[in-house]
Chain A
């Protein structure tokens, strides 16, 4: 049966999580269609059209979708839901916002943040901050509404360009309006799709000291993350947060600096290929999961690390 993936994007760029969600969708059924809803987002639809395994793009280009407000997205997705056996969205802030509305209106349970498609109707998802994995089975005959944890799936490859079909906007329910936004701009790779992530914790001690990570990140082309403790202490904004209540990342290398390793933090990064840690406390729980641990004071280790990376030509 046909599967719909709702694209995550900012009207200019398609998020990497969308291609990862297509991988999950293809394991559930075929054909896979992608719905791109936005305003002046033709470039996003064009990018979506080259994801391998996708048969068709649905494009709803209308002012009401400029910010993907939940109430408008609900109405739009419901207007095409009939044709699909499963509806998926990346478990990003947009998908998490609108998809449960769709599930409720379809009178089905949503399956949140799947990390594995065991069978087309059976999925694994983390519960208790990833301290347990629940395998759930959807009832026969019911539509499946699913959010997908991007870090658990590889992005679908690029393929031949498929057609883009324009669809009509649904009536705007008029329940909410966009007022303003404050986004942090960064030239660094995006946290959830970066190959290398360097995260800082309370051990850095201050917002100023947090910048010690910048140069290391420059050398390694890494994204910068943080533990909840560092966010709560005001060193960095919340969108840096990795963990149960922040973002989930699974890079090639996760370097934890001055992070003790609370279970809530580990929940957000334990699927990284290599975990490395710098901490002066030899007993810190982070070392129980780190493949490589440097037991050292970070204030001496970081400058040394920077110099050594430069020396080695990184």
Chain B
């Protein structure tokens, strides 16, 4: 079984993002970038399937600027076998990403695509579902647990109110939620080894995909700020203040 794992380079989740003064976006200059945390979980799941002998090859693909190759290296250091970098500068929407990934799937013929349920930058939560639809494949989103079961993936999903398990025919797309696994830290020897693993470089034009954004961003602004109110020391005062505010 061959696995394709799309990974995205995003602002590190520990960074406090700042909106640019001209409201065109958020500040990305001199900001620490990392792999989208949900995608790390996807890489981990794919590498575990390989370690269990259920998968034969794990391919990491990233779409973004030249530096996205670092994100692919991280996946390779975690245990992916090879990488594909599709160089695209500027913003790229989930629909265009899904179209590029479909082209990669058509060329590589994986049995499963595993990726994060959402990227923590645009919080869109679309790419996996869009890719599955364009391919005409089934999907298991927000995965909590995966079991392979004779030509199908048994995927337990995190849904409102609990968990749901679906059986999805292969090939399929799975998107990962937080509790699927705990991603490993790459060891130094594996980081060194990853440097020798191949990364193929492509462009969107190689796949004939138009990546022009469909939506226009009018502006990016600061959210309304809340300011702290009063601090009290006793439960009585606390309830009095809440009653005053009409909250209880």
Contacts and interface: CB of A to CB of B under 8 A. Distances in A.
Interface residues of B, number: 81
15 contacts: A70-B129, A71-B138, A96-B125, A100-B130, A133-B220, A135-B218, A142-B214, A180-B165, A245-B177, A253-B242, A289-B227, A290-B228, A292-B238, A293-B232, A308-B236
Interface in A239-258: 239, 244-245, 247, 252-253
Contact of A138 (B159, B215, B219): B215
A171 to B, nearest CB: 13
Contacts of A142: 214
A306 to B, nearest CB: 9
B242 A276 contact: yes
B78 to A, nearest CB: 21
Contact of B247 (A177, A247, A274, A289): A274
Interface stretch (A55-63, A105-113, A158-166, A200-208): A105-113
A76 interface: no
A130 B220 CA distance: 11
B148 interface: no
Interface string B98-129: 10000000000000000000001111111111
A252 B247 contact: yes
B178 A245 contact: yes
Contacts of A244: 120, 123
A294 B248 contact: no
Interface stretch (A25-33, A36-44, A79-87, A181-189): A181-189
A101 B169 contact: no
A264 B124 CA distance: 16
B178 to A, nearest CB: 6
B90 interface: no
A176 B166 contact: yes
Nearest to A136: B215
Q: Which 5 A-B pairs have the closest CB atoms?
A: A175-B138, A101-B133, A100-B129, A104-B130, A183-B162
A11 B53 CA distance: 41
Contact of A127 (B138, B168, B220, B232): B220
A295 B134 CA distance: 53
A309 B130 contact: no
Interface string B26-37: 100000000000
Given A129-B120, A294-B235, A308-B236, A181 B163 contact: yes
Contacts, number: 265
Chain A interface residue bracket vs B: 35 or more
A270 B19 CA distance: 18
A128 B98 contact: no
A175 B173 CA distance: 11
Given A132-B19, A287-B228, A295 B233 contact: yes
A260 to B, nearest CB: 14
Contacts of B242: 253, 274, 276, 292
B230 A293 contact: yes
A69 B129 contact: no
A135 to B, nearest CB: 4
Per DSSP, chain B at the interface is: mixed
A84 B158 CA distance: 31
A135 B133 contact: no
Contacts of A287: 228, 231
B215 A127 contact: no
Contacts of B232: 292-295
Contacts of A154: none
A314 B134 CA distance: 54
Most chain A beta-carbon neighbours within 10 Å: one of B126, B138, B167: B126
A211 to B, nearest CB: 19
Interface in B130-170: 130-134, 136-142, 144, 154, 157-169
A282 interface: yes
Interface in B190-218: 213-218
A314 B129 contact: no
Given A131-B17, A289-B227, 7 more contacts: A100-B125, A134-B220, A176-B138, A274-B245, A296-B235, A304-B235, A312-B239
A52 B210 CA distance: 42
B126 A239 contact: no
Interface string A97-128: 11111111101111111000000001000111
Contacts of B165: 178-181
B93 interface: yes
Interface string A202-225: 000000000000000000100000
A210 B227 CA distance: 28
B241 interface: yes
Contact of A93 (B120, B159, B226): B159
A273 B226 CA distance: 11
A135 B123 contact: no
B160 A135 contact: no
Contact of A294 (B123, B133, B214, B238): B238
B130 A101 contact: yes
